[in-house]
Amino acid sequence: MKKLLPRLLLTPAVLSLLMWMIVPLVMTIYFSVIRYNLMQPDQTGFAGLENFEYFLTDPSFSVAVVNTLLLLGSVILITVLFGIAIALLIDGPFPGRGIVRLLLISPFFVMPTVNALLWKHMMMNPIYGVLAQVWKFFGATPIDWLTDFPLGSVIIMVAWQWLPFATLIFMTALQSMNREQLEAARMDGATYLQQLRYLYIPHLGRSVAVVVMIEMIFLLSVFAEIYTTTGGGPGDASTNVAFLIFKQALLNFDAGVASAGALFAVVLANIAAAFLIRMVGKNLDK
Amino acid sequence: MANQTSKRSKYPPALIVRTVAAWAVTLLLFFPLGWLMLTAFKTELQAISVPPLLIFTPTLENFSIVQERSDYMLYAQNSFITSVVSTLLGLMLAYPAAYAMAFFKGRHTKDILMWMLSTKMMPAVGALVPVYVMAQSTGLLDSRTALIIVFTLSNLPIMVWMLYSYLKEVPHEILEASRMDGATLWQEFRLVLLPLTLGGLASTGLLCLVLSWNEAFWSLNLSAAKSGTLATLIASYSSPEGLFWAKLSAASLMAIAPIVVFGWFSQKQLVQGLTFGAVK
């Protein structure tokens, strides 16, 4: 009884997750070594490593990998730097702090498709968009964001969405700062820069790691923002690995090649995950 | 001394600088969203006017047009049903599991928790082809059932983790005492654990509602006209022909308003949930 009960309670969750993980993985591995095109059912048979070769030598592939890393790196850099700055700024009482908090966190709850279209049309449209108007106001030529800086535009959208998340985490972390230590440092005449260097930044180290790891998981598979704005283009200029796999699977209907690509994405994500698991695991032991 | 205190005004310069800077940054970051809200109440002509209009007579016609043209209510219903049902299902699966791991800690408890977390790292796109093929062969393509299953499973690890972190805090003595008094498992849950973990249960549910409501990858790939969620409805406005910004804004506002308000109430729990308790 003592052992049976917990197992009984645990089984449904574990079994369903196991299925959710194993079944697609096995199928993906299987699809990746056969000829499998949803539009050409007559083409069948074992393909060996052909699909992998096709996916990895596709000129779009290296572009997609670079784009994925650029997107990941830029958004993480922007959200961590600005997140810390904003968190420090609002760490302390001032009029309207509660409202500021609510307004700041809001973009995080906006669904990706709304985020994407809001920026694509109302902000970045080269004629009627708000940014174009601002540019004109200062006498500059408005930028056609999605054509000239497709990846940059996607980075702006995604960073706008994730900055609130980073800010919120840093804000939460700052609340657990040792106030007496800070007070003592101030009494001893430490300048704000010194406080930043020796007290705030070291204290935030752990939450920076958390933000980086979690954003890594979500940002490796940015999809909806690209799907609704640039469609990966122009050319492959804003295609990341997730979108490239989608293109192979549901636009070219080549499930075999897409599966080969998917396995690559899984490997990529697992490398990132290994770090996170280790970090959270340490936390669990405490 | 008395002189010094009288000099210290109610608003020291540092506070004024902080207030102005904080509000400036906040308004800048909130601007796109605020602009969306304004545009939703403009006419199409006002929406694309040069220079942009800040003062205008608000109209509600966009909202009724959105409903007429694209059957907003159907999509809203799909979003509501898929996120609520998947959240409830997820809680039903996750609570017992979290309970078992929190109160019957075994040798493998930590491994199971870690393994569950690792399934969350599987990129969704890695499972796209198999899940699509499975949905197609079972006739579940473009059905709410398919979305509910996928949402439930992809949120399950987070739910188990969050509930585990709440259940872990419940003192074992309370449970032992109730068992001594002869409480059945159901009574133990209903009379002891439920009241103690209601807050955790609620915030776990809230987080999953937010995640499912905003989910776009699976709903874009697995659903169409029949089971499409609000995320897919909005995506259909991305077509280049015509500038229907006011209608797009109205539809977007209707799609995000419920969950943004929801999010405001659950922001603290959200941080804990998304960081698996690593930041407190």
Query: Do the domain assignments include residue B45?
Result: yes
Contact call for A94 and B35, based on CB within 8 A:
no
Residues from chain B that touch A135, judged by Cβ atoms under 8 A, are none
- What pLDDT sits at residue B105? 81
The closest CB to that of B21, out of A89, A210, A223, belongs to: A89
Boundaries of domain holding B28: 2-61
Q: Mean of the pLDDT values across residues A14-24?
A: 87
- What pLDDT sits at residue B87? 94
Residues from chain B that touch A273, judged by Cβ atoms under 8 A, are 118, 121
Contact call for A272 and B121, based on CB within 8 A:
yes
Query: Could you tell me the residue ranges of all domains in chain A?
Result: 16-285
- What pLDDT sits at residue B277? 59
Domain identity same for B23 and B111: no
pLDDT band at B33 (very low <50, low <70, confident <90, very high): very high
Distance, in angstroms, between A12 CA and closest chain B CA? 6
Q: Which residue of chain B is at minimal alpha-carbon distance from A128? A: B48
Convert the pLDDT of each residue in B71-97 to its tens digit: 888 888 999 999 999 999 999 999 999
- Please state, for a pLDDT cut of 70, what percent of chain B lies above it: 90
Distance, in angstroms, between A184 CA and closest chain B CA? 19
Convert the pLDDT of each residue in B128-170 to its tens digit: 888 888 888 888 888 899 999 999 998 898 888 888 888 888 8
> In a 10 Å sphere around its CB, with 0-12 CB exposed, 13-18 middle and 19+ buried, how is residue B29 labelled?
buried
Contact call for A17 and B116, based on CB within 8 A:
yes
Q: Mean of the pLDDT values across residues A33-46?
A: 78
Domain boundary (B39, B61, B83) is at B61
Residues from chain B that touch A90, judged by Cβ atoms under 8 A, are 22
- What pLDDT sits at residue B2? 44
Convert the pLDDT of each residue in A61-83 to its tens digit: 889 889 988 999 999 999 999 99
Query: Do the domain assignments include residue B32?
Result: yes
Residue A32 scores a pLDDT above 50: yes
CATH of domain A16-285: 1.10.3720.10
Domain boundary (B20, B37, B61) is at B61
The A residues from 136 to 175 touching B (CB cutoff 8 Å) are: 137, 160, 163-165, 168-169, 172-173
Q: Which residue of chain A is at minimal alpha-carbon distance from B252? A: A114
Q: CA end-to-end span of chain B, whole Å?
A: 41
Residue B252: other Cβ atoms inside 10 A: 29
Residue B41 scores a pLDDT above 60: yes
Query: Do the domain assignments include residue B279?
Result: no
- What pLDDT sits at residue B152? 93
Residues from chain B that touch A268, judged by Cβ atoms under 8 A, are 123
pLDDT band at B1 (very low <50, low <70, confident <90, very high): very low
Q: Mean of the pLDDT values across residues B98-126?
A: 81
Residue A26 scores a pLDDT above 60: yes
Distance, in angstroms, between B23 CA and closest chain A CA? 7
| DSSP three-state, residue A37 | strand
Residue B6 scores a pLDDT above 50: no
- What pLDDT sits at residue A107? 92
Q: Which residue of chain A is at minimal alpha-carbon distance from B246? A: A122
Q: What is the mean pLDDT of chain B?
A: 82
The closest CB to that of A130, out of B35, B117, B249, belongs to: B35
A9–chain B Cβ distance below 8 A for any pair: yes
The closest CB to that of B275, out of A123, A169, A255, belongs to: A169
Round to whole Å and give the CA distance between B76 and B230.
6
pLDDT band at A252 (very low <50, low <70, confident <90, very high): confident
- What pLDDT sits at residue B27? 93
- What pLDDT sits at residue A148? 87
Q: Mean of the pLDDT values across residues A125-149?
A: 86
A45–chain B Cβ distance below 8 A for any pair: no
- What pLDDT sits at residue B189? 82
Phi/psi class of residue B242: alpha, beta or left (left: φ > 0; alpha: ψ in -120 to 50)? left
Contact call for B99 and A108, based on CB within 8 A:
no
| DSSP three-state, residue B1 | coil
Residue B180: other Cβ atoms inside 10 A: 8
- C-alpha gyration radius of chain A: 24
- What pLDDT sits at residue B3? 45
Query: For the domain that residue B96 is a member of, what is the CATH number?
Result: 1.10.3720.10
Domain identity same for B256 and B190: yes
The closest CB to that of B29, out of A96, A107, A249, belongs to: A107
The A residues from 217 to 236 touching B (CB cutoff 8 Å) are: 217, 220-221, 223-224, 227-229
CA dihedral A73, A77, A78, A81 (to 10 degrees): 170
Residues from chain B that touch A174, judged by Cβ atoms under 8 A, are none
Mutation for testing the B interface, residue in A99, A106, A169, A264 having most B CBs under 10 Å: A106
B31's CB contacts (< 8 A; 6+ apart) are A130
Round to whole Å and give the CA distance between A163 and A170.
11
Q: Mean of the pLDDT values across residues B107-122?
A: 79
pLDDT band at B273 (very low <50, low <70, confident <90, very high): low
B27 or B1, higher pLDDT: B27
- Please state, for a pLDDT cut of 90, what percent of chain B lies above it: 18
Domain identity same for B6 and B69: no
Beta bridge partners of A254: A37
- What pLDDT sits at residue A279? 66
Count of domains observed in chain B: 2
- What pLDDT sits at residue A39? 74
Domain identity same for B124 and B246: yes
Round to whole Å and give the CA distance between A132 and A146.
12
Residue B203 scores a pLDDT above 90: no
Query: Do the domain assignments include residue B36?
Result: yes
Domain identity same for B115 and B141: yes
Mutation for testing the B interface, residue in A18, A81, A122 having most B CBs under 10 Å: A122
Residue B127 scores a pLDDT above 50: yes
A114–chain B Cβ distance below 8 A for any pair: yes
Instruction: Give residue A62's Cα distance to chain centre.
Output: 19
Contact call for A164 and B29, based on CB within 8 A:
yes
Question: Are the C-beta atoms of residues A171 and A105 closer than 8 Å to each other?
Answer: no
The closest CB to that of A172, out of B23, B50, B271, belongs to: B271
Domain identity same for B178 and B118: yes
Convert the pLDDT of each residue in A153-201 to its tens digit: 999 999 999 999 899 889 888 888 878 888 888 888 888 888 888 888 8
- What pLDDT sits at residue B8? 53
Domain identity same for B182 and B77: yes
Query: Do the domain assignments include residue B10?
Result: yes
Domain identity same for B169 and B216: yes
B207's CB contacts (< 8 A; 6+ apart) are B158, B162, B266, B269, B270, B273, B274
Residues from chain A that touch B116, judged by Cβ atoms under 8 A, are 13-14, 17
A276 or A104, higher pLDDT: A104
Domain identity same for B143 and B83: yes
Q: No. of H helices and E strands in chain A? A: 14, 0
**Using a CB cutoff of 8 Å and minimum separation of 24, what contacts does B14-23 make?**
B15/A94, B18/A89, B18/A92, B18/A94, B19/A94, B19/A95, B19/A96, B21/A89, B22/A89, B22/A90, B22/A94, B22/A97, B22/A100, B23/A96, B23/A100
Round to whole Å and give the CA distance between A12 and A9.
7
Q: Mean of the pLDDT values across residues B248-268?
A: 85
Query: Do the domain assignments include residue B280?
Result: no
- Please state, for a pLDDT cut of 70, what percent of chain A lies above it: 95
- What pLDDT sits at residue B275? 65
Domain identity same for B136 and B7: no
Highest mean pLDDT: which range of A75-84, A133-142, A246-255, B204-213: A75-84
Domain identity same for B135 and B266: yes
